[in-house]
Copies of this chain bind each other. A is one copy, B any other.
Amino acid sequence: MDSLDKKILRLLQGDATLAVSDVAKRIGLSTTPCWRRIQKLEEDGVIRRRVAVLDPARVNLGVTVFVAIRTNSHSIEWLRRLSEVVHDFPEVVEFYRMSGDVDYLLRVVVPSIAAYDAFYKRLIARIDIRDVSSSFAMEQIKYTTELPLDYVILDRSGSLPAI
């Protein structure tokens, strides 16, 4: 990946509807080579997908809850089971295995506290969890799918990546 690829990624992260010719213009290239670069970024899996991002409020999902999970069962088997369950719940949009105090962290989106409670009951009905602690978000102040590209490692180029 070189600095032109990085520019392409920056543009497409912001707006995936840009025509190849527009992207090409903005990075100072003609369409074919630009198109080939985009193809390669997709083949290489740097670009994973192109998606429509919806407004949560407009689809009745005003409430975000962070669910911290602590377990006794530190087995691969239990983790596998939890992953399976979590993947079955579309309300869970993010799921992390954590270091430290908390074992797992979920981000859950639902329309209301009542809906969260219903979700919670369905969750614990499917898997035994030692300790669950739910924190409600009052407001989503920033949410972006754009990753900072300042740390990208460029091939055969002079500029070193930040840290």
A residues in contact (CB < 8 Å) with B: 9, 12-17, 44-56, 58-61, 64, 66, 83, 86-87, 90-102, 104-105, 109-112, 114-115, 118, 135-153, 161-163
9 smallest CB-CB distances across A and B, nearest first, come from: A90-B148, A95-B142, A12-B52, A96-B137, A115-B163, A97-B139, A95-B141, A46-B58, A16-B50
Given A136-B99, A148-B61, CB of A143 within 8 Å of CB of B53 = no
Query: How far is B17's CA from A9's CA once the two chains are assembled, in angstroms?
Result: 16
Given A98-B138, A109-B147, CB of A58 within 8 Å of CB of B45 = yes
Q: Which residues of B contact A139 (CB under 8 A)?
A: 96-97
Query: How far is B94's CA from A115's CA once the two chains are assembled, in angstroms?
Result: 23
Query: How far is B54's CA from A14's CA once the two chains are assembled, in angstroms?
Result: 11
Nearest residue (CB) in B for A92 is: B142
A98–chain B nearest beta-carbon distance, Å: 6
A139–chain B nearest beta-carbon distance, Å: 4
A56 partner, pick from B54, B83, B94, B147, beta carbons under 8 A: B147
